[in-house]
Chain A
Amino acid sequence: MGNCCSGDVGGGQQAVGGGGMGGTASGLAGGSKNTDANEAIDHLLKSRGLGGLHSQIELSLSASNLRDRDVLSKSDPMAVVYAKRRDGQLEEIGRTEVVLNSLNPVWIAKITVNYQFEVVQPLVFQVYDIDSQFHNVPEKMLKVEEQQFLGEASCLLSEVLTKNTRSLSLNLVRREYGGIQPRKLSELTVRAEECVGSKTIIEMVFRCSDLENKDLFSKSDPFLLISRAAESGAPIPICKTEVRKNDLNPTWKPVILNMQQIGSKENPLTIECFNFNSSGKHDLIGKVVKSLAELEKLHLELRGENFFVPTVVGHDHHNKILKGQIFVEKFFESKRQTFLDYIAGGCELNFMVAIDFTASNGNPRLPDSLHYIDPSGRPNAYQRAILEVGEVLQFYDSDKHFPAWGFGARPIDGPVSHCFNLNGSTGHPEVEGIQGIMSAYMSALHNVSLAGPTLFGPVINTAALIASQSLVNNQQKYFVLLIITDGVITDLQETKDAVVKASDLPLSILIVGVGGADFKEMEVLDADKGERLESSTGRVATRDIVQFVPMRDVHSSEISVVQSLLAELPGQFMSYMRTRNIQPLC
């Protein structure tokens, strides 16, 4: 093989291997094998368009002190769970079974909800007493309008998940009494549990012996492709190994599979062994079909399985058994830590806001200004960004004290400041709740005169200082800085330096661009669109911590803008925790 083309082939082989292992070229794959495994799964999910955090949650419900509506016996309660849509409509997600004769029912049926970090997910629970005449009707067929209403409760899914115990008790209220409630309130308890499937990963090491030689002048260059049988059509590839060069008895690097992708341990998996060809037409050496359970058995019995190749003899299909065998050298099942494990363990996401007060926003008294406060109450672009990001993040911050700054303005008789406290206080940038940010923002508009230029460096450095101080106190915290801006930054290099430095800290930066300016430079900061950020001193960002979105059309009620902004946050959080091997508390 000539020297000149070996580089290309190497690249191709990397690409083949890359499907499953992901992290080999990205450098910071981290210390432990476990990290590699997690990265591989993230990579896998991303490649399937599941970049954000989606996790299956099972809700279990119980109630106490339900009202007794039956004359001769106690109530026969059933709970129905609804998702409340943006327009206020209720959409049923599921219902429990009917528990007979109980005022303190513990329902067994679990309600499955798909948790999405970047979306606020309001849930409504309604409890009904099922009349005995319906007791033979399946729960799904029951019409709730025909049943006695016992009460209703609502909460956000994130409220339950951020609780230490992952359970939340809610008062059941009845609407028909117009607010007058009996002294002893009925209570509904919601417990949330992450489905085990999304947390289980399986690590295997495969070895083959006596593979057939497919190459003319050298030995075969084998790799494995693992696919899952699909309900319809061709099998879905899940994972590939790297290519072993010139090796008829290869052992590959560990292969990592996620239980969610496989379905169950009994699902058959197709493992195909190919000979790598730089043309991209890899020849099939042989295949086996085995479920995970069978693979585990092979491992325990130290047995090999012979490969076969499907052949056509006349009109008959039959499998030709080959001499080559596959062995499972290692089979290891483990649970990975998820974002929600950290959150339930007490790790907090601390929200911080910085608002652009530069003159390019326009005079706040005029309706065409981006800072114009509409007397009708319709939020301006800044208010909308704060509200939409804030309403998702606030529940991950238990004390709800949010630092809020402004930049690019001249506070009363002072020089231009590139980081002033929004509440006008001298020492404490923190305000209380999202409402606190909103009122501090409006009062700041009256107290400062808009100026320039647009500098991000001071705000990012101030946020980074807070993040690094939390490390000194050994708290498990992660910080999220939201910067809302209308224009092009003037201190690109200083901002880059600040971001590079902050990439080593538990901090992510979300930037929302408002107005019609050209935001090309922001894209540079958002490293997933280009190269890794490099500071003026040659230090390089260790991970991507900046996420940018332009909020172009202020007047449309598009919610996906904020969703795309928040979607990467759990991933950035996990990359921080995993590279440092930080375990969830509790």
Chain B
Amino acid sequence: MDNSVTLEITIISAEDLRLSHRPLKKNAFVTVRSSTLDDSGTSSTSLDRDGGSYPHWNEKLQVALPASARSISVEVHCKTGTGVRLVAVATIPVSDFCEPADYLHFLSYRLRERDGKRNGIINLSVRMKGANPFGCRAQRPPAAPPTTWARCEERRNHGVALGYPVGYAYRV
């Protein structure tokens, strides 16, 4: 556990969920998975009773995030008379919330079904607790380009990489 951090994920709500092309009626719940190996990497919300296809949970989940994880997956399920069915999934890159550290990130994602079909949207907030072993983007002052009329190309390329763990490559 020493090289993992805790994620505090609040599953806020979802919008416009559909199950077999019909608006979802009730009993949607969300499972967050940060690791498939470990139970501490999975956590679920309770069932939403009356939100229908716009469920609202506002429930805080805690999962451990292994240092080797690149992303977490958020799965929307639905409990029906015949059992639990997977509605859709969103994959969240760790880079979307590892920086700035200890900041409450409000994030929304497009949900997709197993075959890639677009489904609704999920709204959540993520806070990474404790030390940040991901070290994401190293803090560095704006680099001074060689000539005057500074251009941001360099910084721009940097900007595209924004959020990708720099220290990450060394870890894998």
Q: Which chain A residues have a beta carbon within 8 Å of chain B's beta carbons? A: 7, 10, 24-25, 27-31, 405, 411-412, 414-415, 417-421, 424-427, 447-448, 457-458, 461-462, 464-465, 468-469, 471-472, 501, 504, 532, 534, 537-543, 579-580
Neighbour of A537 across the interface among B93, B125, B145, CB < 8 A: B93
Neighbour of B121 across the interface among A412, A418, A448, A540, CB < 8 A: A540
Name the CB-closest residue of A to B120.
Answer: A27
Q: Which chain B residues have a beta carbon within 8 Å of chain A's beta carbons? A: 10, 12-15, 23, 52, 54, 56, 58, 90-91, 93, 96, 99-101, 103-110, 112, 121, 123, 125, 139, 141-142, 144-145, 147-153, 155-156, 159-160, 162-163
CB distance from B11 to the nearest CB of A (A): 11
Neighbour of A540 across the interface among B54, B104, B108, B156, CB < 8 A: B108
Q: List 23 A-B contacts (CB under 8 A).
A: A7-B23, A10-B52, A27-B13, A27-B14, A27-B123, A28-B108, A31-B58, A411-B151, A417-B151, A417-B153, A420-B151, A421-B149, A421-B150, A424-B149, A426-B144, A427-B144, A461-B162, A462-B159, A464-B162, A468-B99, A539-B107, A540-B108, A540-B109
Chain A residues in 8 Å Cβ range of B151? 411, 414-415, 417, 419-420
Neighbour of B96 across the interface among A464, A539, A543, CB < 8 A: A539
Whether the Cβ atoms of A419 and B156 lie closer than 8 Å is yes
Whether the Cβ atoms of A462 and B156 lie closer than 8 Å is yes
In the complex with contacts A420-B152, A421-B150, A424-B149, A504-B142 CB distance below 8 A: no
| CA distance in complex: A10, B24 (Å) | 13
CB distance from A1 to the nearest CB of B (A): 13
Whether the Cβ atoms of A29 and B56 lie closer than 8 Å is yes
Chain A residues in 8 Å Cβ range of B58? 31
Whether the Cβ atoms of A532 and B121 lie closer than 8 Å is yes
Name the CB-closest residue of A to B22.
Answer: A7
Whether the Cβ atoms of A27 and B54 lie closer than 8 Å is yes
CB distance from A273 to the nearest CB of B (A): 21
CB distance from B65 to the nearest CB of A (A): 18
From A7, A27, A448, A542, residue with most partner B Cβ within 10 Å: A27
Chain A residues in 8 Å Cβ range of B101? 472
Whether the Cβ atoms of B54 and A25 lie closer than 8 Å is yes
Neighbour of B150 across the interface among A28, A427, A501, CB < 8 A: A427
4 cross-chain pairs, A with B, having the tightest CB-CB distances, nearest first: A411-B149, A419-B152, A461-B159, A417-B151
Chain A residues in 8 Å Cβ range of B156? 418-419, 457-458, 461-462
CB distance from A16 to the nearest CB of B (A): 15
| CA distance in complex: A542, B152 (Å) | 27
| CA distance in complex: A333, B148 (Å) | 59
Whether the Cβ atoms of B106 and A579 lie closer than 8 Å is yes
Chain B residues in 8 Å Cβ range of A414? 147, 149, 151
Chain B residues in 8 Å Cβ range of A540? 108-110, 121
| CA distance in complex: A421, B154 (Å) | 13
Neighbour of B12 across the interface among A28, A405, A465, CB < 8 A: A28
Neighbour of B108 across the interface among A27, A415, A418, A447, CB < 8 A: A27
CB distance from B73 to the nearest CB of A (A): 12
| CA distance in complex: A585, B147 (Å) | 42
CB distance from B116 to the nearest CB of A (A): 11
| CA distance in complex: A27, B56 (Å) | 8
Whether the Cβ atoms of B121 and A27 lie closer than 8 Å is yes
CB distance from A465 to the nearest CB of B (A): 6
Whether the Cβ atoms of A426 and B54 lie closer than 8 Å is no
Chain A residues in 8 Å Cβ range of B125? 31
CB distance from B48 to the nearest CB of A (A): 13
Whether the Cβ atoms of B139 and A426 lie closer than 8 Å is no
Chain A residues in 8 Å Cβ range of B142? 427
Name the CB-closest residue of B to A31.
Answer: B58
CB distance from A555 to the nearest CB of B (A): 32
In the complex with contacts A414-B151, A462-B159, A504-B15 CB distance below 8 A: no
Chain B residues in 8 Å Cβ range of A10? 52
Chain A residues in 8 Å Cβ range of B159? 458, 461-462, 464-465
Whether the Cβ atoms of B15 and A27 lie closer than 8 Å is yes
| CA distance in complex: A580, B103 (Å) | 10
CB distance from B92 to the nearest CB of A (A): 8
Neighbour of A31 across the interface among B10, B99, B147, CB < 8 A: B10
Name the CB-closest residue of A to B108.
Answer: A540
| CA distance in complex: A457, B162 (Å) | 13
Whether the Cβ atoms of B149 and A24 lie closer than 8 Å is no
Whether the Cβ atoms of B103 and A420 lie closer than 8 Å is no
Neighbour of B106 across the interface among A25, A418, A532, A580, CB < 8 A: A580
Chain A residues in 8 Å Cβ range of B13? 27-29
Whether the Cβ atoms of B162 and A465 lie closer than 8 Å is yes
Whether the Cβ atoms of A424 and B100 lie closer than 8 Å is no
Name the CB-closest residue of A to B99.
Answer: A468
Given contacts A31-B12, A472-B139, 14 further A-B contacts (CB under 8 A): A24-B56, A25-B54, A28-B13, A28-B106, A29-B12, A415-B153, A418-B152, A420-B149, A424-B150, A427-B144, A458-B159, A539-B109, A540-B110, A542-B108
Whether the Cβ atoms of A425 and B148 lie closer than 8 Å is yes
Whether the Cβ atoms of B100 and A472 lie closer than 8 Å is yes
CB distance from A187 to the nearest CB of B (A): 44
Chain A residues in 8 Å Cβ range of B110? 534, 538-540
Chain A residues in 8 Å Cβ range of B96? 539
From B10, B90, B149, B156, residue with most partner A Cβ within 10 Å: B149
| CA distance in complex: A388, B147 (Å) | 33
Name the CB-closest residue of A to B13.
Answer: A27
Chain B residues in 8 Å Cβ range of A27? 12-15, 54, 108, 121, 123
In the complex with contacts A25-B15, A28-B123, A458-B152 CB distance below 8 A: yes
Name the CB-closest residue of B to A473.
Answer: B100
Chain B residues in 8 Å Cβ range of A538? 90-91, 109-110, 112
Chain B residues in 8 Å Cβ range of A501? 162-163
Name the CB-closest residue of B to A405.
Answer: B152
| CA distance in complex: A414, B151 (Å) | 9
Chain B residues in 8 Å Cβ range of A24? 54, 56
Neighbour of B147 across the interface among A419, A426, A465, A541, CB < 8 A: A426
Chain B residues in 8 Å Cβ range of A417? 149, 151-153
| CA distance in complex: A541, B147 (Å) | 37
| CA distance in complex: A249, B121 (Å) | 35
CB distance from A508 to the nearest CB of B (A): 15
Whether the Cβ atoms of B23 and A542 lie closer than 8 Å is no
| CA distance in complex: A94, B70 (Å) | 63
CB distance from A439 to the nearest CB of B (A): 16
Chain B residues in 8 Å Cβ range of A412? 149
| CA distance in complex: A462, B142 (Å) | 10
In the complex with contacts A427-B144, A542-B107, A542-B108, A419-B54 CB distance below 8 A: no
Whether the Cβ atoms of A580 and B123 lie closer than 8 Å is no
